[in-house]
Amino acid sequence: MTKSYSKTPIAIALFAAGIVSATAVASSHREAPNITRFPTLDSTDFYLFNSYESGRGDYVTAIANYIPLQDAYGGPNYFAMDPAAVYAIHFDSDGDAQEDLTFEFRFNNSLPNGGVMLPVGPEGMQRNVSVPLKFVGGISASDQSALNFNEMYSIELVEGPQRTGMSTQVTGASGEQEFTKPIAFVGEKTFGSAQSYEDYANQYVYEIQVPNCSMPGRVFVGQRKDPFVVNLGETFDLVNYVPIESSAFPGGIEQSDANDDLRNKNVNTIALELPKDCVTGDGNGVVGSWTTAQVPQARLQNPNATIDTPEVNGGALVQVSRLGSPLVNELVIGIDDKDTFSSASPSEDGQFADYVTHPTLPVILDLLFKDPVNATLGTDFASLAPSNYPRTDLVAAFLTGFAGVNQQAMVTPSEMLRLNTAIPATPAAEQSAFGVAGDDLAGFPNGRRPGDDVVDIALRVVMGALCHDIPVNGEPTNLGFCSPSDAPVGNVPFTDGAPINASYVDDGFPYLQTPVPGSSSE
């Protein structure tokens, strides 16, 4: 189910004028200058949705992905998490833009039994020497004895503000306080087939006991195929394609998996499934959520580094990564404020309001497109950018949610994913990649599912799609923020040509697909 658009003179003019230059709108997974220096802390994408796995209708799933642009062959150390960091998933149940629940994940690394040693040299002159690899033989679901590196993690639930609230250990079904993160899919010689790797990884999907929850939840942390799709290289090359669907007119970009530059990339996933009554609190059933990564304020490098002590960390935790709704820091926030946004909490988002009410992207598109369009059509459009200032349509999309859909009981303008837990999940086969704009109220911006095409949605919305009718319960409806005359190109089907839908991921927890192997046996 996709939204249909008419062929407008503007769309045809963009093609006829041969314009292939525009501002990049795709997520690069490296959204701010400072975070590019800390890839282990870089949150690539965040998802929040009512679980659509069969029999899990009373649950919500949150997925936070970290460590961007992983090449599957990136050995020999692959992609461990930062043991000095605190990775967190936050929930705001009442709408005050402050966390009511925070799930904190802390990681630690170790060498099993002190590490694998091999005897080297002739008899009588042998030396036991440490091997340089994280594994020394085949690995399977039943046998991990060849592993030479363990990565474990613990989970704590903080009730109230993260820094001052009450912290309680989250335990496994058997009372365990530590959980295993499986090693990356290093290749098919080591693991066998993709199914063999899945069998190995699936044993680390844990049932967890969460304080004050009526039922157990589930957790998985490990490498997955990156579910995000984006035409990354051509987009940042001044959009080296005509960014309009070919179905709208001849010459537009064809939808093709080949346009997805992340199709062979992996990520590290933190996936958490919780009973809905764990996170809704005393609100109206709409929860806000986001992910952060924090590190101690001081990090001193050990001049005689060891595997146990490469550095010394101290001081208060400092937030260096933050992600709620997709593409906000890339698409909306000005470059001089990107690092500030990464370190801010949602309750401090008033400082960024101008970026939403008076966005720069439509103005840049207007600067690039207006003169060629007017010259081609013989028209005199004053601007191609939407003219409804302040952009209340974007305030709803990015900061407050939509009344009756994903707006919380208390409305505090702030950036986060907002999910109405009372709207039933749409089964995978029936989902629209365009979410609410595709007449599927269970999708983005009512939360975000892995199969929602947020790049195309965000680009169309910022150019005024919400000024035009969208289908609501099958009927064309104007949401009342603005009118079609306010957005000359609001019904143009902008796209990066990289398709996605629910079939690109699995239909059960943790939803994201098997990682790309570092080496194939074929």
| Cα–Cα dist 43/66, whole Å | 4
Read off the DSSP letter of residue 165: S
Q: For residues 225 and 266, give the distance between their C-alpha atoms in angstroms, rounded to a whole number.
A: 4
Tens-binned pLDDT, residue by residue, of the chain (522 aa): 333 333 344 333 433 333 333 333 334 467 777 788 889 999 999 999 999 999 999 999 999 999 999 999 998 999 999 999 999 999 999 999 999 999 999 999 999 988 999 999 999 999 999 999 999 999 999 999 999 999 999 999 999 999 999 999 999 999 999 999 999 999 999 999 999 999 999 999 999 999 989 899 999 999 999 999 988 887 767 667 777 788 876 677 899 999 888 999 999 999 999 999 999 998 999 999 999 999 999 989 989 998 888 889 999 999 999 999 998 888 789 999 999 999 999 999 999 999 999 999 888 877 876 776 577 667 787 898 999 999 999 999 999 999 989 999 999 999 999 999 999 999 999 999 999 989 999 999 999 999 999 999 988 999 999 999 988 888 899 999 999 999 988 888 888 889 999 999 999 999 999 999 999 976
Per-residue model confidence (pLDDT) at position 521 = 77
Question: Hey, is 400 helix, strand or coil?
Answer: helix
Q: Provide the residue ranges of all domains of the chain, joining segments of one domain with +.
A: 9-111+149-504
| pLDDT value for 377 | 61
Side-chain half-sphere CA neighbours of 517 within 13 A:
16
Report the half-sphere exposure of 249 (CA within 13 A, side-chain side). Answer: 18
Residue 10, φ and ψ in degrees, nearest 5: -65, -45
β pairing state of 179-180 and 206-209: unpaired
Tell me, what's the pLDDT at 48? Answer: 98
Model pTM score:
0.92
Q: Are 248 and 14 in contact (CB under 8 A)?
A: no
Residues 178 and 205 sit within 8 Å (Cβ to Cβ): no
Whole-number Å distance between alpha carbons of 114 and 110: 8
